[in-house]
Amino acid sequence: MGDPSEKGLNAAEKAHRRKRRRAAIRHAFLTRAPNRLTGRRFSRVRPGRNFRRNHRVVELPGLPDELCGLRITHLSDPHVGELVTPDHLPHIVDAANELAGDMVAVTGDFIDFSNSFLPPVMEAMAQLQAPLGVYFVLGNHDYLDDAEEVKRAFGQADLALLLNQAVRLRHRDRVLAVGGIDWSAAQRTQARTVRDTWKKMSPCDLSVLLAHHPHAFDPAHRCGIDLTLSGHTHGGQMLVSNKRSRKGSIGLANLGFRYTRGLYERGDSRLFVSSGVGSWFPIRFRCPAEITSLELQATY
């Protein structure tokens, strides 16, 4: 017998309600309960300790000289809610701005569970600054409550949310194209939206794709996109090995993802997966939260 509360809903609405119900159970047991049972120890603001500011060099084959040294500040997965509270946001914004990137990319999961945190999140995101702009895509958690409300909030704040869209920028007489795809875990949908977005990016001297799910790197590579920036995995949060080797780190994320943390190469394409600036459960082991400055350089 069906749930009476779902009477009159279409299939998509029923699926969303059930997904949110499952997420609420996970949130209660894995996030809220551990934090509150420890006197909210996990959600305390510790400036300089809640996350690391990292610097990585990304070598791109044939990158034009004019674009060498371009810096992208990449942050992902703030998950504002129980663990990362609005009180953390000024520290996140200040750290990102202090990295002084030419561009800022934020790859989704702005809220953890409830849209009640949208106002402080939007206020904080509006404080991010970079000469070439600040660009955003949505993650799966941004869909748990009301994704349309999230999208409207970005529009009202006049923030550059890329939903299968692209912008073309000029930097030192070269064309830089930045594309972003909307959230999807379905590989066919990812492939289609990457292809459609790539058509809006090409031709250009440097292509950068923002995609919350790192598996979008596969179709991005097939399209010839230079650099894909993703999050979603949190690096696994708990690692057995955190070596940044060719085989990558080993941890929880390896159970469900091909690309879990750090920098990956396929042909001339590169992927960087952020470990995230926030967490969705309150334990990190050998996998600190991060904001990363990516410096682009050429390799021949």
The three-point CA angle 130-152-282 to 5° equals: 70
- Give CA–CA dist 223/98, Å, rounded: 34
User: By percentage, how much of the chain surpasses pLDDT 70?
Assistant: 95
| Residue 28 DSSP label | I
Give the helix ranges, DSSP H, for the chain: 11-26, 33-37, 89-98, 118-125, 147-156, 187-201, 217-223
Give the pLDDT band (50/70/90) at residue 168: very high
Give the per-residue pLDDT at 103.
98
Cα 51 to chain centroid, rounded: 15
User: By percentage, how much of the chain surpasses pLDDT 90?
Assistant: 77
- The answer to whether 276 and 289 are in contact (CB under 8 A) is yes
Q: Is the pLDDT of residue 295 over 90?
A: yes
How many Cβ atoms are within 10 Å of 299's Cβ, its own excluded? 11
**Ranges 12-21, 117-126, 216-225, 249-258: which has the least confidence:** 249-258
- Give CA–CA dist 50/89, Å, rounded: 11
- Give CA–CA dist 227/292, Å, rounded: 15
How many Cβ atoms are within 10 Å of 109's Cβ, its own excluded? 28
Average pLDDT of the residues in 292-297: 98
- The answer to whether 178 and 197 are in contact (CB under 8 A) is no
- Give CA–CA dist 295/278, Å, rounded: 23
Q: Is the pLDDT of residue 291 over 90?
A: yes
Q: Is the pLDDT of residue 247 over 60?
A: no
Structural domains of the chain ordered from first start = 48-299 (3.60.21.10)
DSSP characters for 69-121? T-EEEEE----BTTTB-GGGHHHHHHHHHHT--SEEEE-S--BSS-GGGHHHH
Average pLDDT of the residues in 293-299: 97
Give the per-residue pLDDT at 6.
62
Average pLDDT of the residues in 71-93: 97
Q: What is the mean pLDDT of the chain?
A: 93
Q: Is the pLDDT of residue 15 over 90?
A: no
Which of 211-226 are b and which e, b meaning 16 or more Cβ less than 10 Å from the residue's Cβ? bbbbbbbbbbbebebb
Non-local (6+) Cβ contacts of 88 within 8 A are 45, 50, 78, 80, 278
Average pLDDT of the residues in 209-236: 97
**Ranges 2-16, 53-67, 107-121: which has the least confidence:** 2-16
Give the per-residue pLDDT at 78.
98
Quick one: which of 53, 119, 127 has its CA closest to 90? 127
Quick one: which of 206, 204, 245 has its CA closest to 227? 206
Average pLDDT of the residues in 274-279: 96
How many Cβ atoms are within 10 Å of 18's Cβ, its own excluded? 12
Amino acid letter at 214?
Answer: P
Give the pLDDT band (50/70/90) at residue 17: confident
Amino acid letter at 117?
Answer: F
How confident is the model over 185-197, as pLDDT tens digits?
Answer: 999 999 999 999 9
Q: Is the pLDDT of residue 8 over 80?
A: no
How confident is the model over 18-51, as pLDDT tens digits?
Answer: 988 998 898 888 899 988 988 888 899 988 889 9
Quick one: which of 60, 92, 61, 77 has its CA closest to 295? 60
How confident is the model over 110-167, as pLDDT tens digits?
Answer: 999 999 999 999 999 999 999 999 999 999 999 999 999 999 999 999 999 999 999 9
Q: Is the pLDDT of residue 218 over 70?
A: yes
Average pLDDT of the residues in 218-241: 94
Give the per-residue pLDDT at 2.
56
- The answer to whether 28 and 81 are in contact (CB under 8 A) is no
Quick one: which of 75, 71, 109 has its CA closest to 95? 75
